[in-house]
């Protein structure tokens, strides 16, 4: 199983040097992400220098992420700018020889791309996302780059079946799925017994998964439902099922630790390594 990390590198991607990439390799990872905060303004010379730092350390660019305007915004000028930003990120991804370019579906909520809004779930919004991803996938195909789109219960892609609907509607070999199982935990049942959620995801989308965000979650003491992310293998996520089916469906895909500060990344890495050993899964 290929183990990677989203994090554990300078927050400003331009400050990534050979010392930073070697630190990731020495921590036991074969791949790492990169986040380009302004793809439209990125200097190709900086991109090439950072790629060299990855190459010299023997570190794979497992995921290229970045900021762009909302891809489902009903304002067509904003959506067009989002596509333009994603196109720039795709071209950067090609230069980095990335495994895939990460895509967030966005939100109608002006406060953030992952925040809830009732209109995220209406047919018109899904149709805009299909149109956007047809345009983005055509660019990705021409550049030889894979896209990995993610879903979430508060997003337009609120179920794994909805992700399947998107991939089928777009119909591009360049569009794949980045699986973040915690993002689809929407009920107490899903939290305490996520087996149904995980099996459905693998059954519906396993052949199109390109990477997995390895997170865990628990429930907080509160009068209404509050979920919180925690270090892998310390919450309710079924990592035995998650990892066993991952190596069956996606042996070449990256299993990426994310959303943890540096001091917890190594703890998470050791927890996953221990679970892999118990399951007889080898780590790269």
Distance CA 93, CA 270 (A): 29
Q: Which residue has the tokens 């905060």?
A: 37
pLDDT in tens, 202-259: 999 999 999 999 999 999 998 888 999 999 999 999 999 999 999 999 999 999 999 9
Q: Which residue has the tokens 């036991």?
A: 28
pLDDT in tens, 104-158: 999 999 999 999 999 999 999 999 999 999 999 999 999 999 999 999 999 999 9
Distance CA 250, CA 175 (A): 15
Task: Classify domain 2-279 by CATH architecture.
Answer: Alpha-Beta Barrel (3.20)
Find the helix packing angle between 123-143 and 76-96, rounded to 10°: 30
pLDDT reported for residue 224: 85
Distance CA 120, CA 109 (A): 8
- Residue 284's pLDDT band (cuts 50, 70, 90): confident
């Amino acid at each position: 199983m290929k183990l990677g990390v989203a994090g554990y590198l300078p927050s400003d991607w331009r400050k990534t040097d050979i010392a930073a990439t070697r630190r990731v390799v020495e921590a036991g990872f074969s791949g790492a992400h990169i986040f380009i905060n302004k793809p439209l303004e990125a200097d190709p010379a900086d991109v090439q220098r950072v790629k060299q730092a990855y190459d010299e350390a023997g570190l794979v660019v497992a995921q290229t992420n970045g900021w762009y305007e909302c891809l489902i915004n009903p304002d067509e000028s904003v959506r067009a700018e989002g596509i333009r930003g994603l196109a720039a990120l795709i071209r950067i991804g090609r230069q980095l020889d990335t495994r895939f370019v990460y895509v967030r579906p966005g939100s109608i909520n002006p406060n953030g791309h992952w925040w809830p809004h009732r209109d995220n779930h209406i047919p018109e919004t899904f149709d805009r996302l299909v149109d956007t991803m047809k345009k983005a996938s055509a660019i990705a195909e021409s550049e030889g780059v894979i896209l990995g789109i993610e879903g979430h219960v508060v997003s337009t892609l609120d179920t794994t079946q909805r992700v399947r609907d998107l991939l089928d509607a777009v119909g591009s070999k360049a569009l794949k799925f980045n699986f973040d199982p915690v993002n689809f935990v929407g009920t107490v049942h899903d939290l305490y017994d996520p087996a149904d959620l995980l099996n459905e995801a693998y059954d519906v989308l396993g052949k199109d998964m390109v990477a997995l965000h390895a997170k865990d979650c628990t429930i907080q003491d509160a009068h209404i439902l509050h979920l919180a992310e925690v270090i892998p293998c310390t919450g309710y996520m079924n990592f035995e099922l998650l990892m066993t089916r991952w190596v069956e469906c996606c042996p070449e895909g990256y299993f990426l630790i994310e959303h943890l500060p540096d001091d917890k990344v190594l703890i998470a890495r050791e927890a996953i390594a221990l679970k892999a050993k118990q399951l007889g899964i080898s780590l790269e």
